[in-house]
Amino acid sequence: MRFELTHRYRHYPLKVACLPISPPAHSLRVPGTGLEPARRKPLAPETSASTNSATRAYSYPKEHKRGARTSLFFGHKSTSYFQPTKSGKAFYAEVRNFYLCNMEIIRNGAVPKGVQLVATVGSFDGVHAGHRFLLRNLRETGRTHSLPTAVITFPHHPREIVQRNKYRPELLNSFEEKLTLLAQTGIDYCIVLDFTAELSQLSAEAFIREILADKLHVRTLLTGYDHHFGYNRTDGSAQYVKYGRLCGVEVLSVAYYGIGETVVCSSGIRKLIAEGQVDIAAHLLTYTYRLQGTVTEGFRIGRTLGFPTANLKLNEPNKLLPKNGVYAVWADTDEQRYKGMLYIGNRPTFNRGATVSIEVHLLNFTGDLYGKVLTLSLVRFLRPDTRFANTSALTTQLARDQETTDTYLAKVQTIEVTAS
């Protein structure tokens, strides 16, 4: 595959081989450089960023030296060097991830002195296709104004503060996952704003004036479709434009993003996942939905049935779980990716009560996973949770599930390019 890596106003081609399957999720944590898709034509909605083969354009500084990456942040420059730790296909995954992103995370509103921003604000749970459409418009607006871009987001869902002890979010991403996904979109800054009780009392006008204009130096604000902020969220885009004019902030509204007749939104994706439709949700997310957790001790029932499982304790307790049942998944360890069949349920055949168990059987795996972190990419729902008459009937079904998983995942080897 040929990648064209370009900086915003400069062009440099680089031939890069690409993995035939999506790289392990943990490799996406490698900070990379900068850099964003170089698009010059008017933006149009895309159906998905997952594809079997694709040519993407990523920004790439002309000042690049062999083995080095350069970060250009409108006046200050830093250089670090890419030192590959793997070979073969894994090496190219490292190369790709290294050059995908160079987002600087800012906490407590410490925007670099003299920097003015084109920004958008929101929870961005899921960083889905609709969010990416907004962020592509943000980057294009940043180019037009010759200003760096920023996403302003929160470490916790605002409703957790507003409705303290009454609201439990069902998150599509942990905060760490959200930052990783945002970093792959080519945005220059991610400003992490603590959503406090005091902040929740600010009107939209005060938020634009005191926080966005005065504190964060936002000069252009993009608002998404049907997005509201400020106390009681009573104002809309027309009012935001008016408030922005009063303090020198240009406010632009971005149209909704749809795939077919479906408006892509976090609540709609949550509904799909809750119903087990993870394959459809993947098209709207632009990546397969993931669960990540640490392997813990279980009841060891699977071992006695010939299907040993790794029991998972989720790293993010508020992560949305799909409906109970069996799923075909990709399971990533620190070293390798495996086919797996995931079970979510309360093991009705063994009368284990209402406690939901999350356990995965890895195909062709031998070894010890206790204490290790697993990342599961949920590819397809196979069947609902079922009470079997006896363990023999359960074992027969598990063998069928394993065969179905093996066959299906052999056909689904896709590249997930989440930068857009």
pLDDT at 221: 95
pLDDT at 65: 28
Residue with the larger pLDDT of the pair 217 and 98: 217
Per-residue pLDDT tens digits for 14-39:
322 222 333 333 333 323 323 333 33
Confidence of residue 163 (pLDDT cuts 50, 70, 90): confident
pLDDT at 255: 83
| Integer Cα distance of 14 and 7 in angstroms | 13
Reported pTM:
0.73
pLDDT at 23: 33
pLDDT at 285: 95
pLDDT at 375: 94
Per-residue pLDDT tens digits for 107-130:
877 788 889 999 999 999 999 999
Contact criterion met (CB below 8 Å) for 320 and 274: yes
Chain-wide mean pLDDT for the chain? 75
pLDDT at 35: 30
Interval 149-164 mean pLDDT: 84
pLDDT at 413: 57
Confidence of residue 164 (pLDDT cuts 50, 70, 90): confident
Task: Write out the CATH class of domain 103-270.
Answer: alpha beta
Residue entry with tokens 């290294």: 98
pLDDT at residue 256 is higher than 90: no
Contact criterion met (CB below 8 Å) for 358 and 267: no
| Integer Cα distance of 77 and 72 in angstroms | 5
Interval 385-406 mean pLDDT: 88
pLDDT at residue 354 is higher than 60: yes
DSSP-derived 3-state class of residue 258:
strand
Residue with the larger pLDDT of the pair 255 and 186: 186
Interval 334-357 mean pLDDT: 84
Q: Where are the domains of the chain?
A: 1-101, 103-270, 288-416
Residue 18 backbone dihedrals phi, psi, to 5 degrees: -130, 150
pLDDT at residue 157 is higher than 90: no
Pairing assessment for the beta strands 149-153 and 189-192 based on DSSP bridges: parallel
| Integer Cα distance of 100 and 84 in angstroms | 15
Q: What angle do CA 271, 272, 276 make, to 5 degrees?
A: 115
Residue with the larger pLDDT of the pair 356 and 303: 356
Confidence of residue 72 (pLDDT cuts 50, 70, 90): very low
Bridge partners of residue 330, in order along the sequence: 339, 377
Residue entry with tokens 């634009």: 208
Confidence of residue 367 (pLDDT cuts 50, 70, 90): confident
pLDDT at 393: 86
CATH 3.40.640.10 fits 288-416, yes or no: no
pLDDT at 149: 95
Confidence of residue 353 (pLDDT cuts 50, 70, 90): low
Nearest to 169 by CA among 154, 158, 180: 158
Distance of CA 252 to the CA centre of its chain: 25
Q: How buried is 385 (Cβ within 10 angstroms: 0-12 exposed, 13-18 middle, 19+ buried)?
A: middle
Percent above pLDDT 70 for the chain: 72
